[in-house]
Amino acid sequence: MLFAPFQAAGALTAYFGGGFAGGILFAAAAVFSAVFAKKYPKAVICSAGAAFGALVMLLYTVFYSTPVLSFADKSVCTEVTVTQITDNSGDTQQFIGTVNLGGYLTSVRLSGGSNVEVGDKATVVIELEKADKENEIRNLAGGILLSGTISEYVELNRQPFGFRAFIESFRGKMIERLSEEIFSDEREIALSMFFGKDETLSPALSERIKLSGVSHFTAVSGAHFAIFAAVLLQLFPINNRRAKAVLSFLITPIALLFFGASLSVLRSSLMFVILSLAPLFGRKANTLNSLGVAVCVILTFMPQAILDIGFAMSVLGIFGAGVAGPSTSKKLCEFLPDKAKPFGSPIIAACCSSFCAVVCTAPVSIAVFKGISLSAAFASILIMPLLTVGMTFMLISGITGIASFAIPVKLMSSLIITIVNLFGSNREVFLNLDYSGAWVLAAICTVLTTIAAFASSMKTFRKCAEIFGAMSLISVSIALVVNSNRCEIRFVGNSTTNAAVVICKNSADVFVSGSGVGIADDISQCLRERGAYKINSLTALDADFCGELAVNELSELVDINRIVLSKSVSGIPAEIVDSKLSYTVNGLKIASASTSDSETSADIILYHGSITRPPKTSAKLAVYFTNTSHPLPENSVNIYRRRDFYVALTSSKQVSIRLGG
């Protein structure tokens, strides 16, 4: 188990530090392993893991990533095999396909006009470019280095109906049957939590799920895999351990095809195979060793997986829930009176597993999502049994085709919604930790939890618990101080619109530039990550009909005291003003303008729309959201590239917003 975490650390160092840092790490670790092999065997295992991780990442970067990226900005004619459909709306279909580029087999995110299905093979002409910069890490984690537009379909071959198509068809029919039997929010929850189709969630429900800390249930993970395997195993009542192990091994590819080969599912499948095959070799199944082997195997053949957030959360989550949690609960149960142990031990075990899972995933959650939900552990404890029951009946309904089995699924979905609404309706339940070093303190807490779980003495356990409490208190105190002194302007947006979010302590004022389409989620996320619970004033003077719907959407996500629009919107109580009026914050005039407008004058101008030529501006600060290669004028910022850009305001001044000529 010592090898796996250091292999991950070595891979991260080689990726973010570059070839030089990776080479130095590999050389130093290799020398240490050779010199101290006999004297410090455990330290040698750690250094060998770091060396191996760095080496594999360097090999991946030099001999795979770099050659594949050399095809960017080129047009190629090649054969593509469709592996996943990502969007099938309108006239353009988007999918992921496997192509051969100069002998390198790679996945490419593609868009084209012809309708294709999973498994199809086509000879196409593709205009290639580097994968979307905004989602660079996510793309790299999935092994997607390039994206492309299909300009011509030379030949399209529909593959014969095979095993993959059968599984896809079976999954599609289950989703269709579920959609026919369950409606409204229950259907959204069922599709997201049982199938991982979180794109079906409404913005309001999605936000409540994030606030309650149970969004990990909306992505197919190890929990889904384990439930799927358990249900299928129950259909074959086999008592022989070896026969059951063989059956478990055969179930794995079915589950992979059913849920998709995401990294978290791959990790779960490898663990499941290792645990299942242990009886065949006379070994006792061990969660920790199985997890370590699974991580080593995945990072050896797919080193880019270390960049995948879902993979990291999955590994740390299973370590917390399956390793640290049970060990911690055993120590805590020693404090229970003998009479209380029969009913107290299961409660402590459930609480410890959930709590340790939250603690172990906290460093990643804080680094990526800027905080953690204080209700995550409690909500997860309540939702997990409901998810198990719901998935069981969902599978039975899909296998048998009996519609009545969908009734328990609907009931479980309804109960899950009740829990999500209970914990996610209050934005204050999310503790934002966006200050520098927050994830480091969280990592220390994770290490302390691990030491406490494996501690051989209660004295060490108590000491770790005391330091853990102190670190948690320090982290929360810093967050409270940072939030109480926060006074700044944050900028969010997309290709058609952007917004200035003026945050002062725990409230905000928002000025929207452009249509407002799709801005609700960005604003809500900004408020959540910065600790703002309400909007004092929302001004959207250029919003079109779809943008007004986005304003209505945002009003369902966040409490808004005042809405200012240029025209009335049905269902929104708003003030109607002249759209030419300006917006002022602490003496700073903020204006909205299209990228073709060179006449607007203000201290800060938010530009919306695509850039067809280098714009001219007189603003002290011009804010754009664009992926253009055109050079931007001086005193400009592209929030497409710099998502964390903000303007600090004097904290002694209260943020005030007024409309004036």
Tell which of 52, 69, 86 closes a domain.
Answer: 69
Q: Is residue 270 part of a domain?
A: no
| Pair (505, 568) in one structural domain | yes
Residues 473 and 520 both lie in one domain: no
Which two structure tokens, joined as six digits, stand for 348? 């402590």
Whether residue 187 has pLDDT greater than 90: no
Backbone angles phi, psi at 367, to 5 degrees: -65, -35
Closest CA to 242 of 276, 273, 280, 275: 280
Question: CB-based contacts of 606: which residues, under 8 Å, 6+ apart?
Answer: 491, 493, 498, 499, 500, 511, 513, 514, 590, 591, 592, 593, 623
Length of the chain: 661
- pLDDT value at 396 more than 60: yes
Please indicate, yes or no, whether residues 475 and 491 belong to a single structural domain of this protein.
Answer: no
Residues 30, 113 within the same domain:
no
Does residue 214 surpass a pLDDT of 80? yes
Whole-model pTM: value is 0.82
Domain stops at, among 27, 44, 69: 69
Amino acid at 79: E
Segments in 162-235 forming alpha helices (H): 163-181, 184-195, 203-212, 222-234
Which residue, 159, 174, 206, sits at the end of a domain?
159
Q: Are residues 65 and 82 in the same domain?
A: no
Q: What is the mean pLDDT of residues 258-277?
A: 67
CB 427 within 8 A of CB 211: yes
623: nearest Cα among 486, 548, 526, 514: 514
Tokens standing for residue 268: 């779960």
Please compute Rg for the chain using Cα positions: 27
524-546 pLDDT, tens digit per residue, is 999 999 999 999 988 888 877 77
Show contacts of 300-304: CB within 8 Å, 24+ apart.
300/52, 300/56, 302/143, 302/263, 303/11, 303/53, 303/56, 303/57, 303/60, 304/60, 304/140, 304/141, 304/142, 304/143
CA distance 619 to 447: 49
Burial class (CB in 10 A: 0-12, 13-18, 19+), 450: buried
- Mean pLDDT on 316-334: 87
How many angstroms separate the CA atoms of 242 and 348, rounded? 33
Tracing tokens 């369950």 back to the chain, one arrives at 182
Q: Could you tell me if residue 605 is inside a domain?
A: yes
- Close Cβ partners of 477 (under 8 Å, ≥ 6 residues apart): none
| Domain span including residue 535 | 487-660
- Percentage of residues in the chain with pLDDT exceeding 90? 14
Q: Tell me the three state secondary structure of residue 606.
A: strand
The answer as to whether 367 is a domain residue is yes
Please tell me which of 190-199, 220-229, 251-260, 498-507 the model is most confident about, judged by mean pLDDT.
498-507
- Residue 487 in contact with residue 653, Cβ under 8 Å? yes
Strand partners, 71: none
Encode pLDDT of 141-181 as tens digits. 667 888 888 888 888 777 665 666 666 667 777 777 777 78
Listed in sequence order, the residues at least 6 apart from 109 whose beta carbon sits closer than 8 Å to its beta carbon are 86, 94, 96, 131, 132, 139, 144, 146, 147, 148
The domain that holds 132 is classified in CATH as 2.40.50
Distance (Å, whole) CA 230 – CA 26: 42
**Pair (582, 616) in one structural domain:** yes
Within a domain: residue 552? yes
Q: Domain count of the chain?
A: 4
Mean pLDDT for 194-219 is 81
Single-letter code of the amino acid located at 352: C
Q: Residues 448, 566: one domain?
A: no
Question: Is residue 302 within 8 Å of residue 11, measured between CB atoms?
Answer: no
Which range, 8-22, 272-286, 365-379, has the best average confidence (pLDDT)? Answer: 365-379
Judged against a pLDDT cut of 70, whether residue 40 lies above it is answered with no
Rounded Cα distance between 173 and 194, Å, is 14
Closest-CA residue to 504 (of 490, 527, 480, 485): 485
Query: Which bin fits 211, alpha (ψ -120 to 50), beta or left (φ > 0)?
Result: alpha
Q: Are residues 641 and 618 in the same domain?
A: yes
Segment 101-115, tens digit of pLDDT: 888 888 888 888 777
What mean pLDDT value characterizes the chain? 81
For 70-94, b/e burial (b = at least 16 CB within 10 A) is: ebeeeeeebebbbbeeeeeeeeebb
Rounded to a whole number of angstroms, the distance between the first and last alpha carbons of the chain is: 67
Model pLDDT for residues 446-474, shown as the tens digit of each residue? 999 999 988 888 889 999 999 999 999 99
Question: Across residues 413-437, what is the average pLDDT?
Answer: 91
Q: Can you name the residues that pair with 575 across neighbouring β-strands?
A: 564
Q: Does residue 391 belong to any structural domain of this protein?
A: no
In a domain, 215, yes or no: no
Q: Which residues have CB under 8 Å from 345's CB, separation 6+? A: 329, 333, 336
474 and 443 together in one domain: yes
Question: Residue 367 and residue 280: Cα distance in Å, rounded?
Answer: 41
Q: Say what the pLDDT of residue 661 is.
A: 42
Do 12 and 91 lie in a common domain?
no
Q: Summarize pLDDT for 406-423 with one digit per residue, the tens.
A: 888 889 999 999 999 999
Q: Is residue 442 part of a domain?
A: yes
User: Do 474 and 514 sit in the same domain of this protein?
Assistant: no
449 and 531, same domain (yes or no): no
- pLDDT at res. 659: 52
Is residue 272 in a domain? no
pLDDT at 79 over 80: yes
